[in-house]
Amino acid sequence: MDLIECGDHQFAPGIVVCKHLVDGDSKRWCRVRSGEQEFDDWVCPECFRRIWAVGVEDLRSVCIHCAEQLRAEGEEVPDEIAELEAWGQERSRSLGYQEWRTRFDEAGDLFPDTKRLPLSARLPMEVERLSQLERAEASKTEAERLCEEYLWLLANKPYYRVHPRIVPYLCRCRLDTIPSSYVEVPGGFHTVDIRFSQPHPDLTVEGDEYVRNILLAKPVMPRLSETERLSFLAEGRIPQGLNARTDSLCLHVDLGDQAHCGSIYYIRDWVFMIRLSPENSLEDAFEAVENVAATPIGPGSRRREVLKNCLRIVATIGFMANTPEGNFLQYDVLSKDRLKFEQGDDETKKRLIDRARRRGKHGWNVGTNEMFLGETPRWSGSGSGEHGRGHSHAHIRSGHLHAVRCGEGRKNVKIKWFRPTVVRPDLRFS
């Protein structure tokens, strides 16, 4: 914990407090958890309601002793009350996350009786319906998607919910610096659903054409022999061939387009396959897709940039999920259990995770436990200091993602989240 200079307490640990609490405009203190309860940050209810959009100008760095004195004069709002007042009964409902709509869901709406059948019995029925598609290529593509969705359902529909405030940070990933072979499906799953709550500029093509979900999967058909493929489609048993390492990943992107084919109603998703090779970067892999794709994702098109941002998000979440230091990804437990989960020991957390899974929640929140400061750090002067940084006053640097080399010979890469911090705490704030 960095020390800041305080007029009353000399040098002491500093935390972030919104200006409305410091100035006395509000007396109700809402906690923003930092991972260490003693050094949690604090904001008023209004700032808590818009926590993902609070700017640096609304925040102050205060020593913990002054903060304790101010808090003693006000009222500490319990976490569950603060969240209820800010977002209502269910935060995810207010943000509008939607799970991926599978071919099984669509068929269940058309043929309700099939919902009662085991999933393994429904798979060959859906394969039979796919044979009704007029175009062989469409049937092949849909069969691949069906198999990937089947594995997703068997795994209890794992998902990652991306908070809108973190999207621009995830889209800063430089694809030309990442070997394509480093990219993985998060969590060791065959298929995961990456969800977005609302339109975001980085993920919007035009108007209502924006990314709702990305179904990220290891392709099924290329990893199976003809015998294994036929057995899998007929019986639904997972063959050994699916445990083999894949040299490609498949992204199904839901941009809100829907279509009908005969009596079958389905999402018309954008599909692109990324080839994974240690010799090629992700930039190279994406350009290879672009070169064989239709005009809509050609050079200079908006859809091309949106799909490229999808690849950036997939790569970054994969790194964070498989190197989970920093507590940046949090398991999506039931709302009523969130506080117990954050404060509980490993046994308590496991019990709450099991409870959430029994309720059909098998996923992680990305970035929902962070306070995001403004996108631009507040520079307080251009004078040169003894540390060579050119700062004449202390300032708060916003949180950011950063690639870190690690392992033997620094050959591996992991993505770490660096929390908001006070720069040059030995100087006074302007």
Q: State residue 144's pLDDT score.
A: 86
Assess whether 99 and 80 both reside in one domain: no
Domain total of the chain: 2
Nearest Cα neighbor of 130 from 116, 146, 110, 115 is 146
Using DSSP, state whether 41 is helix, strand or coil: strand
Tell me, yes or no, whether 13 lies in a domain. yes
Other beta carbons within 10 angstroms of residue 277's beta carbon come to 15
Band of the pLDDT at 418, cuts 50, 70, 90? low
Other beta carbons within 10 angstroms of residue 362's beta carbon come to 19
Share of the chain above pLDDT 70, in %: 73
What tens digit of pLDDT does each residue of 197-248 get? 888 889 999 888 899 999 999 998 888 888 888 888 888 888 887 877 788 9
Distance between CA atoms of residues 148 and 142, nearest Å: 10
Q: State residue 416's pLDDT score.
A: 60
Domain boundary among 263, 292, 323: 323
Assess whether 197 and 132 both reside in one domain: yes
Domain boundary among 323, 350, 382: 323
Assess whether 143 and 286 both reside in one domain: yes
Note down the domain range covering 305: 94-323
Tell me, yes or no, whether 151 lies in a domain. yes
Tell me, yes or no, whether 22 lies in a domain. yes
Q: State residue 11's pLDDT score.
A: 84
Which residue reads 């409870």 in tokens?
355
Band of the pLDDT at 140, cuts 50, 70, 90? confident
Nearest Cα neighbor of 15 from 70, 61, 68 is 61
Q: State residue 165's pLDDT score.
A: 77
Could you please report the per-residue DSSP string of 157-216? --EEEEPGGGHHHHTT--GGGSBGGG---GGG-SEEEEEE-S--GGGEEETTEE--EEEE
- Average pLDDT value for residue range 300-307: 88
Please state whether the predicted TM-score (pTM) of the whole model is above 0.85. Answer: no
CB 29, CB 77: distance < 8 Å: yes
Assess whether 153 and 51 both reside in one domain: no
Average pLDDT of the chain is 78
Share of the chain above pLDDT 90, in %: 22
What tens digit of pLDDT does each residue of 19-36 get? 999 999 999 999 887 655
